[in-house]
Chain A
Amino acid sequence: MTTSKSKKQAPDTAPVKKQRGQWAEVWHRLKKNKGAMVGLTIVVILIFIALFSDVFLDYDTDVIGVNTAERLQPPSAKHIMGTDEYGRDIFCRILYGTKYSLSVGVVAVIIALLIGVTLGAVAGYAGGPTEEVIMRFTDIFSSVPNMLMALVVVAALGQSMFNLMLAIGITSVPQFVRITRAAVLTVKTQEYVEAARAIGLRNYRIIFSHILPNCLSPIIVQTTLRVASAIISASSLSFLGLGIPAPDPEWGAMLSAGRRFIRDYSYMTLFPGLAIMITVLALNLVGDGLRDALDPRLKD
């Protein structure tokens, strides 16, 4: 989302025609990567499911409606993934859950992206004490293992979807700071930046329209991969009972509920996990494909 926004900024810097050529070239390379295309197809389907789940599923009856007559039924023609301990259809719940996982993943990464890229760009561009302060703070933040930090934040803020996004977003900030700073450091010595400074452009203008558009590749790749890991973190926290509260069909929470029945009704843990895995795999495939497409030198 944010990346496409920044893509639009890119034409500012160079003749429009040439810039478009660059992105067309990236798309051309991406199209040749079968894995990435499979991943992209799955991601598009998932986005579609997430956007329209309210149209074809009724939250009160299909998703959280209790039906004791049909509780704990194994997969069958009527319930292709079976039903849970309240008689709710697991397939419907998983479809509906797409919305939660995708939105937590995307929003968390947008939070991280906004904070991380800004701090990283400022640190890389300004240098000196500003850089020192930002980077030391980043060090402090990233010296606590991610999962532990997210746990603490979400436990302190309380259980809710937004707090989950915030917790995961905050813990992803350091990676974006580091990556952006590194990219800015290499770009800022280029002649066109010097030229921009020479004609008296303001610093924020130089950063946002001259430096950042040329640092996009690593940031885009990191964004895609981070959405994937954010989805895993979100379901992990929900699994520990610190994520999205019941009865919402978040995949991790469904897994955690199914865990009690694992001995006799293992399908309850099987399918939500599969859903997480497919989503994350698809995003990772796209991320890997983008990395190769954006920087062919990295491809072995």
Chain B
Amino acid sequence: MYRYVLKRLVLLIPVLLGVSFLVYFILDLAPGDAVDVLAPDDATQEDRERMREELGLNRPLVIRYLDYMSDLVRGDMGESYLSGQPVWDSFIEKAPNTLLLGFASLVVSVGLSLPLGIYSANRHGTWKDNVSMVLALLGLSIPNFWLGLLLMLLFALRLGWLPSGGADGFASLILPAITIGTGMMATLTRTTRSSMLDVIRQDYLRTARAKGVSERVVIRKHALKNALIPIITIIGTQLGGILGGAVLTESVFSWPGVGRLIVDSLNSRDTPMVTGAIIMTTMFFSVVLLLVDLLYAFVDPRIKAQYATKKGGKSNDNKQKQKASA
């Protein structure tokens, strides 16, 4: 298992290299550069050239990238063109806010979709099931930022129960978390329902019922436990959606997180800031996906047994996963 983790972490290096390369080069495609944004309007051509030299922007792209990378591997993400502050400092200042928001959204989404999905599966084919599925589909179809605006309008501007923006205590977390959570909830509810439906038809559930186990225990211990793998997979992949959705929700609610940092830096052509923040986000996302893979082992003893017998055979446990989630 440790070998497997190590292998996955090593595989992460080329991915991150690729991402940094991609982002750095795509950003360079844009006409103009940070100097156009930074320089005061009355700056002469000479002033601008001097600024370019100070920022190192006069060098060819490949040299700049290699320079950036050689700093990066030594743990230095460079300085923001705009503020001159180290990228790492700005990132680490905003990251906890986004993490907090992401975690809260996850709580909202899991808290709503697991019960709703299980409820739906239990009443498969009834109008209650249909209503829950329509709700889930609505959640999938509502643009997140619009939902955020509507929630803000109702609860902050009209009723005045909750603050309309900023990151100031628990109350300000509620609306953004609901906004992101609802978007995630839709897919998760549907996955929970179909995964539960698969399990509900299994013989071992009939056996459990036949031996007189109470319905609650049947659902919780026998059904849900076996239905968890696809659910966990979706939660993992949706975290990427949270990080992306956070860009919009943070902008709607003026939440001082990484999403807004990236949008602001994009607008001011702050390449080191954007690249750094995206690399960190990607790394976080990849590590979460790795953790999700490891979580399978704790949920499903069959997969755990595989880690024990085969030393980190990646293709093998992928097959097992597919089997389990099929």
Binding site for B on A (CB under 8 A): 136-137, 139-141, 143-148, 151-153, 155-158, 228, 232, 235-236, 239-240, 242, 252, 255, 259, 262-263, 266, 269-270, 272-273, 276-277, 280-281, 284-285, 288, 300
Taking a contact as CB atoms closer than 8 A, the residue among B22, B26, B141, B240 that contacts A277 in the complex is B141
Contacts of B137 in A (CB 8 A): 281, 284-285, 288
Closest chain B CB from A175 CB (angstroms): 11
Can you list 5 A-B contacts (CB < 8 A)? A147-B244, A155-B267, A236-B145, A280-B140, A284-B140
Contacts of A242 in B (CB 8 A): 266
Residue contact B149 to A273, C-beta cutoff 8 Å: yes
Known: A255-B149, A280-B143. A158 touches B30 (CB 8 A): yes
Binding site for A on B (CB under 8 A): 14-15, 18-19, 22-23, 26-31, 124, 137-138, 140-146, 149-150, 152-153, 157, 193-194, 197-198, 240-241, 243-245, 247-248, 251-252, 262-263, 266-267, 274, 278, 281-282, 285-286
CA distance A144 to B14 in the complex (A): 13
Main secondary structure of the interface of B (DSSP, over half): helix
Number of residue pairs A-B, CB distance < 8 angstroms:
133
Residue contact A153 to B19, C-beta cutoff 8 Å: no
Known: A143-B286, A255-B149. A236 touches B14 (CB 8 A): no
Contacts of A263 in B (CB 8 A): 153, 157
Known: A147-B247, A156-B30, A281-B138. A236 touches B281 (CB 8 A): no
Main secondary structure of the interface of A (DSSP, over half): helix
Residue contact A146 to B240, C-beta cutoff 8 Å: yes
Residue contact A145 to B240, C-beta cutoff 8 Å: yes
Residue among B144, B149, B193 facing the most chain A CB atoms (10 A cut-off): B149
CA distance A252 to B274 in the complex (A): 24
Residue contact B150 to A148, C-beta cutoff 8 Å: no
Residue contact B23 to A280, C-beta cutoff 8 Å: no
Residue contact A281 to B243, C-beta cutoff 8 Å: no
CA distance A60 to B137 in the complex (A): 37
Closest chain B CB from A167 CB (angstroms): 10
Residue contact B251 to A152, C-beta cutoff 8 Å: no
Taking a contact as CB atoms closer than 8 A, the residue among A140, A259, A273, A276 that contacts B19 in the complex is A140
CA distance A244 to B137 in the complex (A): 27
